[in-house]
A and B are shown apart, each in its own frame.
Chain A
Amino acid sequence: MNTKLKVSEISKIYPGCIANDKVSLEFGSGKIYALLGENGAGKSTLVKILSGVVKPDEGEVFLNDERIKLNSPLDAKKNNIGMVFQHFNLFETLSVFENLSIDSDIKDEDLRVLVNDILKKYNFKIDLDIPVLNLSAGQKQKVEIIRCLIRNPKVLIMDEPTSVLTEQETDDLFISLKQFSKDGILIIYITHKLKEVLLLCDEVAVMRKGKVVSVSNTIDEKIESLANKMVGENLNTIKKKINHFKNSEEILKISNLNFKSDDPYETNLNNLNLSLKKGECLGIAGISGNGQNELFQILSGEIITEGTSIMFRNKEIGKLNPRERREYLMAFSPEDRISQAAVPELKIYENVALNNFKSSNFFEKGLVNEKKIKEHSKKILSNFSVNTDNVELKSQFLSGGNLQKLIIGRELITSPELLVCFNPTWGLDVGAINYIHETLIQINEQGKSSILISTDNDELLKLSDRICVIYKGKLSKIMNADTVTAEKLGILMGGGSID
């Protein structure tokens, strides 16, 4: 059985961003294809188009030279395109078999025979009659795969399948995938992990900013060459900022930070060490989901880890909550500006009151000092050029850029010694991005420090004095920004090692 899948001139435009720009690719059975790219490169959109979740604005999909219409996930199933998503779609309290029979038209007795055949053939060891919640992440993924295999797929798409797996489970998965490929199933493997591409795949298509930038055989590629293609080679031209505080005192020191989460979708952090000097910006690069979220929350005090030492200005703050850390002049700008850093249903001045500490006098003797909060809010709106002077406006009516300015303004107007920000410019327009960048450079020039956790390499190279990369919950060596190239970052972000 030979399968040929071809996408031709696929385009998908979202407001403010071109997710897929005339993407054309060809795949044939017998090979495993990698689709490689950073966050936002357009891989997910392309995959969603192939699985019928998203309709393209332009372009066509051909299966065995026949044009197919993919208007819904049902159409994809009918055309024998199977998809295993990164997040599982299983009913936790139902048994494995019940989960499989839910979306199958086969009679239960026949289905059981079929599933047992699949289990035997691929040497999967799963008890069909226990509830899914008792399975490990790797086993749950196998259930998802079996669900696809029941339908005799011609094409199997795996979306970042190893992000929740252990090393051993990853090895098992690769063995299975190679077996499927031998059995004639065309496999498209979405990832940003360079090692996996080299280990598993035969061909690799690299996407960047919605476009396919290269298609090649993996034997011709190395980690370095793929990294370059993934992040782009034009980044070296960006002018780096000058560090005025090279030999200043140390302001923050974290030693041997470990964090283990009960949630399989969270990342564990292993033995993190970092230090930060006065007036310095430390950039933390990485592809999202490698532990940035957890690291931010540990820095902000939303997660308190037992026995972790965080020294800030010679005080131990590891046990303090975010409000208490603010008293020590730390400030935080989380990634989720819409529903975490601010509450959309609250008015601007109420959102300003979220960053409250003793000297702000927003709440005197437990009572709300509305006048004080409003005055303070007006000052933020004008100092940080937020495009309104109405403090009674609900923050849901602010544009992303104005909301981010409000949040950064709220955090900075108290002159903190350290600002921790996480993807401060995602989804903003160029004007707002520049404003935020200038502000961040400015605070360093005033001798204040910052930690910038970002998935945007341009931003990191532009703003950081020192950079490190977080990969699977581990920090790379911290490097001086002037020795860092886009290539090095790319290798580290994809799990490779340098020197």
Chain B
Amino acid sequence: MEVQLIKIEKRNDVSRSIYFLTPVLAIFLTLFGGGIIFYILGFNPIEALKFFFITPISDLYGLSELLVKATPLCLIAIGLSFCFKSNNWNIGAEGQLIFGGIVGGGVALLFYNHDGFYVLPIIILSGAIGGMLFAMIPAILKTYFNTNEILVSLMLVYVAKLLLDYLVVGPWSNPEGFNFPETRQFSESARMPILFGGLRIHAGIFITLITVFLSWLILYKTYLGFQIKVSGLSLKTAKYAGYKGKTMIIIVFMISGACAGLAGVGEITGPIGQLHRNISPDYGFTAIIVAFLGRLNPVGIIFASLIVALTYLGAETAQIFLQVPKYTGQVFQGMILFFLLGSDYLLFFKIKFLGLKKNEL
């Protein structure tokens, strides 16, 4: 039998513009792949894609919803970029989001009878601290006990979820809520200000934008950012340069957790207004895709969060108009990641065909 021998070689220099263009290519491939899936399901692919990607944002309300969804995604992804850039694989942003939500929500319930400008900032701050502390668990276990942060951070997601479940069913459930698994509605002063009447878009978007700017500043203009960059490229060099590896792991996890916690508190004080079981439609996991689609670059992440937010909206529209389950949205998110990783592989490696050879096995 003759077999084709192939060899995979690393490409030496990858052009910067193509590096930032491949995510766009991945999005087009996703549209194409999505079209095929719709076709197999018996829909007109063009029509279906239109329902999925155009209809949801063809009015003001739709655009506002897009920003409502993009706000937490962008915030979490920007935090994750600190971890990912320095080779720390924080997969548990969802848990940090929920824990931030729990802490922020707890404070909001505590201030149930208070009015005042100070209430909201305290809630937001405590949410950020909650996420930060929760993210420090995998960081400290990694630095002092050499555990794998992927496993620990992932498993802690379920801890946070179950804790939230317990709280909203048990001690924190609304006394007047007929045993529904939810807390009281937060008071007005504990809610994010709405920007335009009738739309759900809220002040959380400013928190996100400020965080993006600060992150850009830290990553590209500070010593900390430089150390993160070097550690991500070569741990050996970071060690040789004398960077404090352990401290840095803890710092990036803290930043990342604080961002996820902010996102969580933004959700419960923004669109939701209370704590219940499903405060996040897996934003913490989806943000991983956003971070990579945006090339871990602050500006890239803004665009990526808008695109991925659209898959959430599209899934809802598609559920209404095409009667397909809303999990189609996750199929699209999966495809984006799949095509991105695939095109990245071809971007960084080339495949050489070495010709036919007789198989002697």
Contacts and interface: CB of A to CB of B under 8 A. Distances in A.
Interface of A: 74, 300-302, 321-326, 332, 334, 336, 339-343, 345-346, 350, 353-356, 363, 366-368, 396
Contact of B241 (A339, A345, A355, A367): A355
Nearest to A364: B223
Given A343-B233, A346-B230, A368 B240 contact: no
16 contacts: A74-B360, A325-B242, A339-B236, A340-B236, A341-B237, A341-B240, A343-B233, A346-B233, A354-B230, A355-B241, A363-B222, A367-B221, A367-B222, A368-B220, A368-B223, A368-B226
Contact of A343 (B221, B224, B234): B234
Contacts of A339: 234, 236-237
Chain A CB count within 10 A is highest, among B226, B234, B242, for: B242
Given A332-B240, A355-B241, A366-B223, A396 B12 contact: yes
B243 A368 contact: no
B340 to A, nearest CB: 20
A350 B236 CA distance: 16
Given A339-B236, A340-B237, A368-B225, 4 more contacts: A324-B242, A339-B237, A367-B222, A368-B226
A366 B237 contact: no
B239 interface: yes
Contacts of A350: 226
Nearest to B223: A363
Contacts of A367: 221-223
Contacts of B12: 396
A346 B241 CA distance: 14
A302 B237 contact: no
A302 B244 contact: no
B240 A300 contact: yes
Nearest to B243: A323
B228 to A, nearest CB: 12
Given A353-B226, A368-B226, A326 B242 contact: yes
Contacts of B236: 336, 339-340
B158 to A, nearest CB: 27
Contacts of B233: 343, 345-346
Nearest to A324: B242
A359 to B, nearest CB: 15
B237 A354 contact: yes
B222 A366 contact: yes
A352 to B, nearest CB: 11
A40 to B, nearest CB: 23
A104 to B, nearest CB: 13
Contacts of B244: 321
Contacts of A354: 230, 237, 240-241
A137 B361 CA distance: 31
Contacts of B223: 356, 363, 366-368
Chain B: interface size category: 20 to 34
B226 A363 contact: yes
Given A354-B230, A366-B223, A368-B226, A323 B237 contact: no
Contacts of A340: 234, 236-237, 240
Nearest to B234: A343
A140 to B, nearest CB: 23
Contacts of B242: 301, 321-326
Given A74-B360, A339-B234, A340-B234, A356 B221 contact: no
Contact of B240 (A334, A353, A356): A334
Interface of B: 12-13, 220-226, 229-230, 233-234, 236-237, 239-244, 360-361
Given A339-B236, A343-B230, A356 B241 contact: yes
A401 B221 CA distance: 31
B230 to A, nearest CB: 6
Contacts of A396: 12-13
B221 A368 contact: yes
In the A-B complex, the 7 residue pairs with the closest CB atoms: A323-B242, A322-B242, A363-B223, A321-B242, A354-B241, A340-B236, A343-B233
A199 B361 CA distance: 40
A354 B221 CA distance: 15
A302 B240 contact: yes
Nearest to B236: A340
Contact of B237 (A74, A343, A363): A343
A74 to B, nearest CB: 6
A11 to B, nearest CB: 24
A360 to B, nearest CB: 12
A252 B12 CA distance: 42
Chain A CB count within 10 A is highest, among B223, B240, B244, B361, for: B240
Nearest to B225: A368
A349 to B, nearest CB: 11
B192 to A, nearest CB: 31
Chain B CB count within 10 A is highest, among A341, A353, A354, A356, for: A354
B234 A323 contact: no
A21 B86 CA distance: 46
Contacts of A325: 242
A356 B224 CA distance: 13
B221 A323 contact: no
A322 B240 contact: yes
Given A336-B236, A343-B234, A323 B241 contact: yes
A410 to B, nearest CB: 11
A119 to B, nearest CB: 28
B45 to A, nearest CB: 40
A367 B12 CA distance: 31
Contact of B224 (A302, A324, A345, A366): A366
B226 A322 contact: no
Contacts of A356: 223, 241
Nearest to A354: B241
Contacts of A363: 222-223, 226
B276 to A, nearest CB: 41
A468 to B, nearest CB: 24
A339 B241 CA distance: 12
Nearest to A353: B226
B352 to A, nearest CB: 17
A368 B222 contact: yes
A74 B222 CA distance: 54
A346 B227 CA distance: 12
A326 B240 CA distance: 11
Contacts of B226: 350, 353, 363, 368
Contact of A342 (B220, B222, B224, B237): B237
A354 B238 CA distance: 8
B332 to A, nearest CB: 32
A324 B243 CA distance: 10
Contacts of A300: 240
A430 B361 CA distance: 46
Nearest to B242: A323
A324 B222 CA distance: 19
B12 to A, nearest CB: 7
A345 B231 CA distance: 12
A336 B240 CA distance: 11
A353 B226 CA distance: 9
Nearest to A397: B13
